[in-house]
Amino acid sequence: MFKALFARFQQGHRTMTFPDGPPPEMPDHFRGAPRIDPSRCPDECRECADACPTDALRLGAQSTSLDLGRCLFCTECQTACPQGTVTFGSDYRLATRDRSDLIVGKDDPIKLAGKLEAKLLKLFGRSLKLRQVSAGGCNACEADINVLQTIGWDLSRFGIQIVASPRHADGLLITGAISRNMELALKKAYDAVPAPKIVIAVGACAISGGPYIGHPEVLNGAGALFPVDLYIPGCPPHPLTILDGLLRLLGRIEEGSRPSSSSG
Amino acid sequence: MSALSSPYSPAANGRSVELKSVPVLLPDEFQSLMLESVASHLRVSSYFGMSVEGGTDLWAVLSDDLRTGLRFLRTHIDSNALPSLTPRCPQVHLFEREIAEEFGIRFEGHPWFKPVRFHASWIPSRDAWNRPASDRPVVGVTDFYRVEGEEIHEVAVGPIHAGVIEPGHFRFQCHGEEVFHLEISLGYQHRGVERALLGGPNKRTIHYMETLAGDTTIAHATAYSRIMEALGRIQDPARAQVIRGIALELERLANHVGDLGALAGDVGYLPTASFCGRLRGDFLNMTAMLCGSRFGRGLIRPGGVAFELPPDRAGQLLKKLDAADKDLRVAVPLLWDSSSVMARFEDIGRLSRETAVQLGVVGPAARACGLDRDIRHDHPAGIYRFSHIPVSTWSTGDVFARAYVRWMEVQASITFIREALQSLPRGSIKNDVKPQEPNRIVATLVEGWRGEVCHVALTDAEGRFARYKVVDPSFHNWAALAHALRNQQIFDFPLCNKSFGLSYCGHDL
């Protein structure tokens, strides 16, 4: 027992202060929100679109756009483009309420998620129970959702909890491209959640099918089955991106805002 | 036996051979050679079908762990049935079911002949169970093993489980709290990756590799990159080999530490559960220091690695590693010092060495049964040819052994990374990739954190993938979990399950 007490002192207090304090430092090579500047695109150039593994880029005269719902943040487009049309930045804030808000262009930055409608916010704002369902992905999104439950992030301090039964839940937190083999189980889980309920799609798979877009074995994301209330892009999204999305949905972080960064 | 001097083609981890140098054996020659080889200590690392003109080719990749070599065996069948080897060689049980499901071949005499992932046959005109082509198989709808008797009850769990965890279905045959038999039925994560790999490589291929099992991104991407390097007859530069090694050991650290924490959580010992939950994240962040992604996405590429590791970054990494090491040495041994933990770890979920050998178990689960199999030692490639890592074993085969082997491996990996960071060779990090040679076969083995990751590629006349076979360690090990549960209390299932820590998506592909 003394060893356990000593260990407790040795390990210290580790829960971050975000969102009141600065967010945790992101790694140098972190790939976050991209900037699109097609002004130097030569006619007929398709280098970026041809390099994209998930066809996330739409080319047009001065109107090239990138669908973050499909994007794996692999930066193949950035590497392929000789003009610097696409550059991935370090901004971790990526979650949106509408599928179309994930399509970013030169004059269309990401429209970050706004809070829930007043009635739902009243119900869920201080207590949101989510049933996580994994349906045809690679388990990386799940791993970084799990991280939010560790002491460093402590998701429960916001009243957000992952619960075991859909009947105890206010909504589903869905990962994976929705394999045909999970379609029935996922529908049953959705039906078991009492109304009113919300659906959150985490990761490129759950938004669009991700690396598996177009496979006959998958349904290309949760949108094929249910209305989605929050999209959190990434492959997988960083835990901070997921947390930021959840807190925006609950109105804990206001539109467009970013808590002061630790590195200034 | 044919007149050839050798009925199989000798090969090695990551060395490609010409397809025509591998003799096409008669099916019975192929099968008896497989039995002989397995009887004399070889393991079945991969066994798969491939559609060819006039029928199906079957390929086996056997690993000789004692003499550090691989053997390719090949046969051709034009019928749609073959006697099952499973009764005499249990480690092919799931491979035979997989070949049956994909190519419509019946393995006669297979003791439990069922689908694996519940998808339609790849050959529309041929189905191993004569199911009509118009009906899509329904996942989980199949016969389950049943124990009959008045006091027997059945418990069905999943596909959706209580935690944040992948889907799978478990059927327990129980007598009171005692589990007589557990049957595991998967396929819920099936997303058709192997079929999509045919005709590749293309711009999606590396992303399939990085997401075969998201927590094993480095091991799978390394196995693939080495396939491409072998087929293009190039090598990754020495500096890249070391960075790959660092990344592979960081992946092992993150997962082993996370599992030790989760095992503590499963027996209600919260100090270690909390500490290790956080420390796991520290190791993921160290991987992110290498490449920006906590799972190592984008780091490993054919020809080398995509991110340089400058000296100042290596220094920062070393500091973070030392800090995590210090915390771990306090957090983990609490488990072995707590009698309440040890009472739940010792003698629970025991897997015998004999069963492990028969089932072809790999990774820490095998080493916890006293088997000293480890690809880093038995079939070393890259940095592991120069920098040796001790093989960590324990003999008891129980939950404790699987936890303790992880702890020994954690310490060995930290030592390895520390040395690697201090002796990074100079030079480039990536060589140019050359076109893949046509008509060749190559297999690569990588010791991922769960065990042996095996990739096999066969190229066609243009150098494209005529077949690309992936075997995640989980494919070998799921049956071991079922065996370990026999005569255990059903409430120990979560603990036993976590002690094996298997992948659903890596199995379902």
Q: Please give the structure tokens belonging to residue A217.
A: 């074995």
Mark yes or no for CB contact A28/B292 under 8 Å: yes
In this structure, of A247-261, B193-207, B444-458, the range with the lowest mean pLDDT score is A247-261
CA distance B159 to chain A (A): 7
A116 has a pLDDT exceeding 50 = yes
- Burial (CB count <10 Å: 0-12, 13-18, 19+), residue B349: buried
Substitution target in A55, A134, A167, A184 with the highest count of B β-carbons within 10 Å is A134
Q: How far is A97 from chain B (nearest CA, A)?
A: 23
Q: Two tokens at B327?
A: 């915390």
Q: How far is B435 from chain A (nearest CA, A)?
A: 18
Using CB atoms, which residue from A27, A76, A212 is nearest to B288? Answer: A27
Q: What chain B residue is nearest to A5 in terms of C-alpha separation?
A: B271
Mutation target for B interface from A141, A162, A179: give the one with most B CBs within 10 A.
A179
Task: Tell me the pLDDT of chain B averaged across its residues.
Answer: 95
Report yes or no: B210 and B221 within 8 Å, Cβ to Cβ.
yes
Chain B partners within 8 Å of A185 (Cβ)? 159-160, 167, 188
CB atoms under 10 Å from CB of B295, counted, come to: 26
Which pLDDT band, with edges at 50, 70 and 90, does A260 fall under? very low
Substitution target in B121, B139, B164 with the highest count of A β-carbons within 10 Å is: B164
Q: Which residue of A has its CA nearest to B307?
A: A29
**pLDDT tens per residue, range B382-434:** 999 999 999 999 999 999 999 999 999 999 999 999 999 999 999 999 999 99
pLDDT band at B4 (very low <50, low <70, confident <90, very high): very low
- Write the burial class of residue B152 (CB in 10 Å: 0-12 exposed, 13-18 middle, 19+ buried): middle
pLDDT greater than 70 at residue A264: no
3-class DSSP state of B387: coil
Query: For residue A44, what pLDDT is reported?
Result: 85
CA distance B116 to A146: 28
* Nearest alpha carbon to residue A134 among A173, A181, A184, A188: A173
* Alpha-carbon gap: A157 to the closest alpha carbon of chain B (Å): 15
At A257 the pLDDT is 60
Beta strands A198-202 and A230-232 are: parallel
Contact status, residue A207 vs residue A224, Cβ threshold 8 Å: no
Residue B489: is its pLDDT beyond 90?
Answer: yes
Confidence of residue A43 (pLDDT cuts 50, 70, 90): confident
Give chain B positions within 8 Å (CB) of A217: 119, 190-192
Please report, rounded to a whole number, the percentage of residues in chain B having pLDDT higher than 70: 99
Chain B: closest CA distance from residue A16 (Å): 11
pLDDT at B3: 39
CA-closest candidate to residue B440, choices B63, B70, B72: B72
Q: Please judge whether A181 and B136 are an interchain contact, meaning their C-beta atoms are less than 8 angstroms apart.
A: no
The tally of CA atoms less than 13 A away on the side-chain side of residue B484 is 34
- CA B105 from centroid of its chain's CA atoms: 24
Torsion angle, alpha carbons of A39, A79, B283, B229, to 10: 170
Cis upstream peptide for A196 (omega within 30°): yes
Per-residue model confidence as pLDDT tens digits over B368-381: 999 999 999 999 99
Nearest alpha-carbon partner for A69 in A222, A253, A197: A222
Position B2 confidence tier, pLDDT thresholds 50, 70, 90: very low
- End-to-end Cα, chain A, rounded Å: 42
Is B366:B373 a contact under the CB 8 Å cutoff? Answer: yes
* Chain A residues lying within 8 Å of B211, measured CB to CB: 137-138, 140, 210-211, 235
- Answer whether residue A63 shows pLDDT above 90: no
CB contact under 8 A, B331 and A11: yes
Main-chain phi, psi angles of B67, to 5 degrees: -105, 15
- Give residues with Cβ within 8 angstroms of A27, minimum separation 6: B285, B288, B289, B292
Average pLDDT over residues B283-291: 97
End-to-end CA distance of chain B: 36
pLDDT for A3 beyond 50: yes
**Cβ neighbour number for residue A107 with a 10 Å cutoff:** 8
Cα–Cα distance for residue pair A59/A44, rounded to 1 Å: 9
Rounded to a whole number of angstroms, the distance from the CA of A27 to the nearest CA of chain B is: 6
| Mutation for testing the A interface, residue in B119, B211, B329 having most A CBs under 10 Å | B211
pLDDT for the residue numbered A62 = 76
The Cα–Cα gap between B425 and B407 comes to: 29
Task: State both tokens at B217.
Answer: 């991104």
**Å from B41 to nearest chain A CA?**
33
A151, A182, A211 ranked by CB distance to B204: nearest: A211
Give, in order, the Cα–Cα distances in Å from B157 to each of A139, A177, B160, B321, B494.
19, 23, 8, 39, 11
pLDDT confidence band for A108 (50 / 70 / 90):
confident
Tell me if B503 and A179 make a contact (CB, 8 A cut-off). Answer: no
Given a contact cutoff of 8 angstroms between Cβ atoms, the answer to whether B334 and B272 are in contact is yes
Residues A147 and A132: beta-carbon distance below 8 Å? no
Which secondary-structure segment (H or E) carries B500?
Answer: helix B493-500
Contacts of A19 (CB under 8 A, 6+ apart): A244, A247, A252, A253, A259
The residue among A29, A55, A153, A160 with the most chain B CBs within 10 A of its CB, best to mutate, is: A29
Q: What is the pLDDT of residues A167-200, one digit of tens each?
A: 999 999 999 999 999 999 999 999 999 999 999 9
Per-residue pLDDT at B391: 97
Q: What is the pLDDT of residues B70-79, one digit of tens each?
A: 999 999 999 9
Grade residue B10 by pLDDT with cuts at 50, 70 and 90.
Answer: confident
What is the band of B7 on the pLDDT scale with cuts at 50, 70, 90? confident
Question: Which whole-number Å values give the CA distances from A55 to A83, A124, B270, in the listed order?
Answer: 19, 36, 45
Q: Which two tokens stand for residue B250?
A: 């960081």
Task: Give CA–CA dist B9/A262, Å, rounded.
Answer: 59
* CB–CB contact A151 B159 (8 Å): no
What is the model's pLDDT at position A256? 60
CA distance linking residue B484 with residue B182, whole number of Å: 9
- Kindly list the residues from chain B whose CB atom is less than 8 angstroms away from the CB atom of residue A73: 297
Smallest CA–CA distance, residue A126 to chain B, in Å, is 22
User: Is residue A82 very low, low, confident or very high in pLDDT (cuts 50, 70, 90)?
Assistant: confident
Sequence-ordered alpha helix ranges (H) in B234-383: 238-266, 270-291, 311-331, 333-337, 339-345, 353-359, 363-367, 375-378
Contact: A139, B215; criterion CB under 8 Å: yes
* Mean pLDDT, rounded, for A140-155: 95
**pLDDT confidence of A258, banded at 50, 70, 90?**
low
B118:A181 CB<8 A: yes
* Cβ atoms within 10 Å, residue B336: 13
**DSSP H or E stretch at residue B179:** strand B178-185
DSSP state of A18: T
pLDDT band at B458 (very low <50, low <70, confident <90, very high): very high
Q: Is A16's pLDDT higher than 60? A: yes
Strands (E), A12-144: 34-36, 57-58, 65-67, 86-88, 103-104, 128-134
Residue where the block lists tokens 């996330």: A56
What are the chain A neighbours of B331 within 8 Å (beta carbons)?
Answer: 7, 11
Model confidence at A121: pLDDT above 90: yes
Question: What pairs with residue B301 in β-bridges?
Answer: B304
pLDDT attached to residue B134: 84
CA-nearest residue of chain A to B270? A4
pLDDT tens column, B303-342: 999 999 999 999 999 999 999 999 999 999 999 999 999 9
Residue B106 backbone dihedrals phi, psi, to 5 degrees: -85, 130
- Above 90 in pLDDT, residue B114? yes
Residues B23, B26: Cα–Cα separation, whole Å:
10
Region B291-299: what's the mean pLDDT? 97
pTM: 0.96
Q: pLDDT at position B209, please? A: 98
Cis geometry, peptide bond prior to residue B201 (ω within 30 degrees of 0): yes
Q: What pLDDT is recorded for position B8?
A: 73
Residues of A within 8 A of B217 (CB-CB) are 140
Closest-CA residue to B465 (of B147, B200, B244): B200
pLDDT band at A262 (very low <50, low <70, confident <90, very high): very low
Question: Could you say which DSSP state residue A39 is in?
Answer: G
Cβ neighbours of A140 in B, within 8 Å: 211, 214-215, 217, 295
- What's the whole-number mean pLDDT along residues B30-48? 96
